Amino acid sequence: MSTELLPPAQPTFVLRGHSAQVHAVHFIQGNTRLLSADAEGWLVSWNLASKRPVAVWRAHGNAVLGIGSWGQDRVITHGRDNKLAVWQLAVRDEEAIGKTLPVDKPPNTTRQPWLLHMLTVNTLNFCSFAMCLDGMPQPYTVHTAIKARNHPPPMLIAVPNTMDSGGIDIFQLPSETRAAVIHADRDITTGMVMALGIHTESTKLQVVAGYESGHTMVFVQSDPGAQFQRLYCAQSHTQPILSMAILPGHECYLTSSADAIIAKHPLPAAPSVWKTELKPFKVIQTKHSGQQGLQVRSDGRIFATAGWDARLRVYSTKTMKELAVLKWHKVGCYTTAFAEIGNCFLIKVEDGGPVKQEDIEDPDEKTAVRISAVTTVQQRREAKAQSTHWLAAGSKDGKISLWDIY
């Protein structure tokens, strides 16, 4: 049958509960939970097996710009109230937290998760934070060895500079100290920082920035304490950059903008870059302006954008070709998120025996979740939700659509 005759794809589920625009979505805890955050500072943790809220609290006094996860039980939120917060949110903590959704007007006194860290940061840029593991080796003592078993590894957080909107601050957690500063480029007028990415490789630190002018730059610090060097600069966009994402293999990164262009850029630390003239790998004119919330799936094969035209678009990272256009929301979409794949996959083994190589349909998968004949319906639902290749999107209408298309 011709693909032209197929009906339009529809979301598998739609989560309703926010009374304001959904600005960020993020999968946590092995794809068993989906976090969503809105323009009024509320966060909702959704159980993906039951599609019901399991934790609701007001994390910020203003709009939330971004969400991240640190280890298995820590959530990072970045709000327009100039705060970046780290919360402890394990499954065992959910029982004590409120469940009343923002649309039902819960009281502001709703019990929150345990607040572990709070940083004062710049949020005038509307630019969300970027994060990566701290690649520096940590001093080894008996105390740090015991602590390492109970806490996630140190993390680096990149945000726009507090005093200079074109500069970048890098903080370290859990110490809450400023680890480095990248000053605004004085030779090129870039305007404000609009999007950030960060990556470490041993002691080498790479920071990727997208600017109001449409420029994007890559800065590299070869050793701790050394000055950052700008190794790449391009202006593929004519409008402010809205979002960016580094590919899992760290060989390149993608940018989207208020214009209709999506560009693929080199990362100067990648070996293949030295054979190029440090120009964008590929620049495509999509004819659809205002694509933001760009996210790459964990296998690096596809990426998605959320559009001002209320459509989600899925592209191939290799060819940059448009693979799917998903239309359900009636108003603009702001954010996307992919469930992580390759770590939690559903493999049916009816006899309950060990998972064998021939039982795994895709040899690229790393881990299997076994379903035996004696599992409960609830366990099957949880395993199914955990293994689905979800694509989530948040919209101006306060709804989150969940898609299962690839």
In this structure, what token pair is assigned to residue 69?
């996860």
Q: Which of 392, 394, 350 has its CA nearest to residue 372?
A: 350
Residues above pLDDT 70, as percent of the chain: 84
In this structure, what token pair is assigned to residue 379?
């366990």
Beta bridge partners of 74: 70, 88
* Number of residues assigned to the chain: 406
| Residue with the two structure tokens 């881990």 | 367
State the burial class of residue 16 (Cβ atoms within 10 Å of its Cβ: 0-12, 13-18, 19+): exposed
Kind and range of the H or E run holding 316: strand 311-316
Residues above pLDDT 90, as percent of the chain: 70
User: Is the model's pLDDT at 144 over the cut of 50?
Assistant: no
Task: Decide: 168 and 207 in contact? Cβ < 8 Å.
Answer: yes
Question: Which pLDDT tens digit goes with each residue over 208-236?
Answer: 999 999 999 999 998 888 899 999 999 99
In this structure, what token pair is assigned to residue 310?
């209320």
Q: Residue 140 and residue 148: Cα distance in Å, rounded? A: 10
pLDDT class of 186 with cuts at 50, 70, 90: confident
Q: Which of 255, 171, 175 has its CA nearest to residue 205?
A: 171
- Output the pLDDT for position 5: 66
Task: Decide: 25 and 35 in contact? Cβ < 8 Å.
Answer: yes
In this structure, what token pair is assigned to residue 353?
């025996």
Pairing of strands 302-307, 261-266: unpaired
Kind and range of the H or E run holding 205: strand 204-211
User: Is the model's pLDDT at 116 over the cut of 80?
Assistant: yes
Q: Where are the beta strands (DSSP E) in 235-341?
A: 241-246, 252-257, 261-266, 282-285, 291-296, 302-307, 311-316, 322-327, 333-338
In this structure, what token pair is assigned to residue 46?
């959704």
| Residue with the two structure tokens 């969300």 | 128
User: Is the model's pLDDT at 16 over the cut of 80?
Assistant: yes
- Output the pLDDT for position 125: 81
Q: Residue 384 and residue 238: Cα distance in Å, rounded? A: 43
Question: Which pLDDT tens digit goes with each residue over 356-389?
Answer: 333 334 444 444 444 444 467 778 888 888 889 9
Contacts of 103 (CB under 8 A, 6+ apart): 16, 17, 18, 19, 398
| Residue with the two structure tokens 């701790």 | 224
Task: Decide: 392 and 383 in contact? Cβ < 8 Å.
Answer: no
DSSP 8-class letter at 218: E
Task: Decide: 65 and 72 in contact? Cβ < 8 Å.
Answer: no
